[in-house]
């Protein structure tokens, strides 16, 4: 059994995760990275995407992370996300709606700013759905 590190995921709305984990895998802006206990101190921005970790009982858990930062210390990982949800908390219906809305907007091809926002929203929706589907 590997040694554990402490994982915290906080958003402006609430703290999502605060527990021990064996390994944490997060979507860094320069690529996905994994952290075990004893990792060197490390700070990175995060992309939208799935974050996985193994909790104290060895069970793998998946979260949806939308942007933010991650600070890795030898015995602690802190994720500051703009929004984050555990897999069970993902609102599939809402994500479906968001996906359709975003697809429509992209199809209409309005001004550039809208396109960027629609793409970001589509990306969020797709990741949410993908994470919700995995068992």
Partner 1 sequence: MATLKEVQSKISSVKKTKQITSAMKMVATSRLRGAQNAMEAFKPYASKFAEVLGSIAGKSGEDASPLLVPREEVKKVAVLLCTSDRGLCGGFNINLIEKAEKLIQNELEGKEVSLVCFGKKGRDWAKKTPTPIDDAVIGVMGGRIEFNIASTSGQALIDSFLTGAVDEVYLIYSEFQSMATQVPTLKQILPIPSLSDMVEEEAEAPADGEFLPEHICEPSSDALLGEMLPKNVFIQIYDALLQTTTSEHAARMRAMENATKACEDMVEELQTIFNKTRQAGITADLMDIVGGAEALKG
Q: Which residues bind partner 1 (CB under 8 A)?
A: 8, 10-15, 28-30, 40-45, 69, 71, 73, 78, 80, 82-83
When the beta carbons of 112 and 135 are compared against partner 1, the nearer one is 112
CB of 63 to partner 1, least distance (A): 16
Contact call for residues 120 and 66 (beta carbons, < 8 A): no
Contact call for residues 133 and 95 (beta carbons, < 8 A): no
Q: Residue 22: is it exposed, middle or buried by C-beta count within 10 angstroms (0-12/13-18/19+)?
A: buried
When the beta carbons of 8 and 20 are compared against partner 1, the nearer one is 8
CB of 75 to partner 1, least distance (A): 12
When the beta carbons of 14 and 135 are compared against partner 1, the nearer one is 14
Report the SS3 class of residue 88.
helix
């Amino acid at each position: 059994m590997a040694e554990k590190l402490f994982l915290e995921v906080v958003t402006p709305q609430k703290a999502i995760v605060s527990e021990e984990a064996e390994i944490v895998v997060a979507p860094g802006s320069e690529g996905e990275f994994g952290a075990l206990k004893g990792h060197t101190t490390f700070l990175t921005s995060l992309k939208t995407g799935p974050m996985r970790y193994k909790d104290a009982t060895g069970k793998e858990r998946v979260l949806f992370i939308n942007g933010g930062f991650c600070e890795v210390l030898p015995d602690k990982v802190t994720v500051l996300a703009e929004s984050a949800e555990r897999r069970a908390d993902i609102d599939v219906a809402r994500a479906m709606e968001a996906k359709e809305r975003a697809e429509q907007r992209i199809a209409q091809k309005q001004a550039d700013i809208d396109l960027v926002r629609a793409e970001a929203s589509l990306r969020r929706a797709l990741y949410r759905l993908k994470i919700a589907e995995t068992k």
